[in-house]
Amino acid sequence: MFLLRPIKPEKVVRLLEKLGFMIKRQKGSHVVLKKGSAMVVIPMHKGKDLKKGILRRIISHVGLSVEEFMNLLKRL
């Protein structure tokens, strides 16, 4: 079982780009990534990490389990 810890949003964006998501647009501090019909919004607030609640939501929108996400994140 993997425990989610706060992660830098830049790492999450990099991982999603490796999974085939493309940055569609950025408005303010929110980056919108899209792959097919799946769309994910990543908050990129300066100096703040993504906490586990928003990470779980992002992971579910992408269609991965927490374990798969953490394993992919370790490979970056």
Residues 6+ apart with CB under 8 A from 27: none
Q: What is the pLDDT of residue 36?
A: 92
In this predicted structure, the answer to whether residue 12 has a pLDDT above a threshold of 90 is yes
Q: What is the pLDDT of residue 35?
A: 95
Q: Distance between CA atoms of 52 and 56, rounded to whole angstroms?
A: 6
CATH number at residue 33: 3.30.920.30
Does 59 fall in a domain?
A: yes
* Structural domains of the chain, count: 1
Q: What is the pLDDT of residue 1?
A: 61
Does 56 fall in a domain?
A: yes
Does 3 fall in a domain?
A: no
Q: What tokens appear for 51 in the block?
A: 């906490």
Does 40 fall in a domain?
A: yes
Q: Distance between CA atoms of 54 and 1, rounded to whole angstroms?
A: 19
Percent of the chain with pLDDT over 70: 97
